[in-house]
Structure 1
Amino acid sequence: MNFEPYIVSPEQYPLALSKSPYKPKVLYAMGTLPPADSEDSATHNGDGIPTTDERRGNAPVGIAMVGTRRPGPNAKILCKRLVESLRGTRAVVVSGLAQGIDSYCHEAALEAGIPTVAVLAQGLCTRIEGTRGELARRILEAGGALVSEFEPDEPAYKGNFPARNKIISGICAATLIVQSKAKGGALLTGEFTRKEGKPLYAIPGDFDSEVASGPNALLDRGLAKPVFTPESLRSILGFPKSESISLKELSLAGTHLDKATLDFFRRVNGFRKTFTELQSEFDFNISQLLTILTELEMAGLAHTDDNFVFQFDGVN
């Protein structure tokens, strides 16, 4: 595929950007941009995010997910669980294509089939080195987009990053800081989000964890709202639970469940079961049962609000 940068007209700025005080004078893009917010999407829920019924045509909603370039050891799993919770919603995952948290969130979105947009601090024709360049290519090939306010051949100067962070905030309806040190670009994005009056969320962490010091400080000062469980992000953002999906639709989408998981699902489909009940009805050990439940949740065939009672919904 051959992707060339193009100039986006102001009325076609993606998602919420055209309404943001941080909208740039010029915006370049590669790939397919999500549409601009409609004029009637000004009504919001209690957290400031347009609700599904209030968005004309169920328009997509940008969710910024940002963090440090040097995250903790379990960060990739954390990002995957956070992004997976948005499967089946109108969310578009927006981040900055940096190493670490940003790249993990883009990758998780690609794996989950969720649209993703990368905002760059350099021109779109400037070479992106290493695995980040490969990730940028995958985003474009999956139907996502790269955007930048900088001339196509401009390198990634240090002074470009605050402008990049403003666009990340401006595009999105809310921002989640996954992991950050006490100082960093993710916190700057969060500050821009707060100045726009948009919801800011953060993942709490251990008191002595360097990569949790930024989120913990925001939470301690009441500047962000906590997301304690990754799977709760969907409901915290106000997105409804997934609609029922058929096994045939899953297969066509490239999701294939193994025989044990399929047999399990066919027995429990349509029921609400506690974890204890599932243990008593099946001969799986705890590890096997948790693996099956996670697989079904990721496929949109099961959901839980408390990790104890599970609702199984699907069309056989």
Structure 2
Amino acid sequence: MPACDLERHPLLPWLALRHTTGIGPVGAVRLYQKLGAAWFNSPALAGCDLSEGQRRQLLSPQWPVLERLLAWQEAGRQRHILAWDHPDYPAQLKSATGAPILLFVDGELAALRREQLAVVGSRHPSYVGRENTRTLVPLLVEAGLAITSGLAIGIDGLSHQAALDKGGITLAVLGSGLEQCYPRRHRRLATDIMARGGALLSECYPWEGPLAHHFPRRNRIISGLSLGVLVMEAAERSGSLITARFALEQGREVFAIPGAWQNPQAGGCNRLIQQGAKLVCDVRDILEELAAFSEAAIKIHPPVTEELLPYPDLLDNVGLEATAVDLIASRCQQPVQEVLTRLVELELAGWVESVPGGYVRARRG
């Protein structure tokens, strides 16, 4: 690109704002709105409440950074750099206080315009958390929602994969630059997300690695892009609760799936419900809430038709957490061998599943 074009490049003001000490996203947008795109030469700059050092930084063009960013963008067919005032900057995120002033995207821009639900949770989910994710996410996709998460191991990765398996669109917000996919084990998943119409996003420069302070900031983007946040499973001290807090501050809906109080992985969800998050027992609990303020024609699933249960007295004593055979037999007051025979029949019919420690109730589609 000729030097004269670089001097007028629309990213320069945003890069200057990003590299000015003491000016965060909120202050940067306010300053940009006050002075306009041509504020480099604006006499009003002197009247702003800025230190001499800040004014000096603002008037120092970030040529090396701009050239490196443009080289990154040109090296990929679907790479985009969206400043806060760019027409393709997602409107849902833009409405959130503290939205990033620069957003880097690898993938389909159309995915950013989709109605999204954030799905987050534990990095070490229980069997129940995994099954809830594999069951609910396809129904959300079927209803017309794109699934947004953070590409982390655990619930995040399961959510992305479940959306792809259903043929849906999913977006991943990274806590690193887009050239430094983290975690490494999800590089293939990231490639699949882009190949199937989704997108990877980050506010980090593409070459930046994963740093601890990136991840809490990443969470505000996940919630900001979405109509609401569904916490699948989370301990009381969990990054997922940071996402939920951002969602509340941004005026988004918060949903949580309850769990047994003995399960430490359910403590965060139970606490969110105590504090006013919507308790989720069924996908309709989410869709009915979203339909009230979503512009999308979200399909509400009809009630599930009741099906005659085989061995109902036995099934009543098999839940979503592993239950030992002898405990089931004791509760049913039946011989262990007879209970075991019936459990095998139920497993073959798809009603229960054998897991370490006993049996759990299966999720029947």
Q: Report the TM range for the smaller structure's normalisation.
A: 0.5 to 0.7
The one of 237, 241, 252 aligned to 2:290 = 237
C-alpha displacement at 1:241, in angstroms?
3.3
Distance 1:227 1:159, change over 3 A: same
Unaligned runs of 5+ in 2: 1-75, 292-297, 311-344, 353-362
- Describe how 1:1-316 pairs up with structure 2 within 5 A: 5-9=79-83, 10-14=86-90, 16-34=92-110, 60-222=114-276, 224-230=277-283, 232-238=285-291, 239-241=298-300, 274-276=306-308, 288=349
* Bigger Cα displacement from structure 2, 8-17 vs 71-80: 8-17
Give 3-state SS (helix, strand or coil) of 1:208's partner: coil
Output the CA distance in 1 between the equivalents of 2:139 and 2:290.
Answer: 11
Output the CA distance in 2 between the equivalents of 1:129 and 1:220.
Answer: 33
Give 3-state SS (helix, strand or coil) of 1:81's partner: helix
Identical columns (%): 31
Output the CA distance in 2 between the equivalents of 1:193 and 1:186.
Answer: 11
Provide Cα deviations, 1:218-249, integer angstroms capped at 9, x if missing partner. Answer: 11232x11002356543443332369xxxxxx
C-alpha displacement at 1:70, in angstroms?
1.2
Q: 1:8–1:26: 8 Å Cα contact kept in structure 2?
A: yes
Give 3-state SS (helix, strand or coil) of 2:210's partner: coil
Q: Which has the higher helix share?
A: 2
C-alpha displacement at 1:90, in angstroms?
2.5
- In structure 1, what residue type is equivalent to 2:299? P
Unaligned runs of 5+ in 1: 38-59, 244-271, 279-284, 298-316
Query: Given the two structures, how large is their TM-score scaled by the length of structure 1?
Result: 0.68
Distance 1:86 1:15, change over 3 A: farther
Higher radius of gyration, 1 or 2: 2
C-alpha displacement at 1:34, in angstroms?
3.3
Distance 1:8 1:225, change over 3 A: same
Q: 2:151–2:183: 8 Å Cα contact kept in structure 1?
A: no
Give 3-state SS (helix, strand or coil) of 2:97's partner: coil
- In structure 1, what residue type is equivalent to 2:189? L
Give 3-state SS (helix, strand or coil) of 1:200's partner: strand
Q: 2:111–2:171: 8 Å Cα contact kept in structure 1?
A: no
Q: 2:177–2:209: 8 Å Cα contact kept in structure 1?
A: yes
Query: Given the two structures, how large is their TM-score scaled by the length of structure 2?
Result: 0.59
**Could you say which structure has the greater relative contact order, defined with CA pairs below 8 angstroms and 6 or more residues apart?**
1
- In structure 1, what residue type is equivalent to 2:82? V
Q: 2:178–2:200: 8 Å Cα contact kept in structure 1?
A: yes
C-alpha displacement at 1:143, in angstroms?
1.2
Output the CA distance in 1 between the equivalents of 2:88 and 2:121.
Answer: 28
Q: 1:88–1:242: 8 Å Cα contact kept in structure 2?
A: no
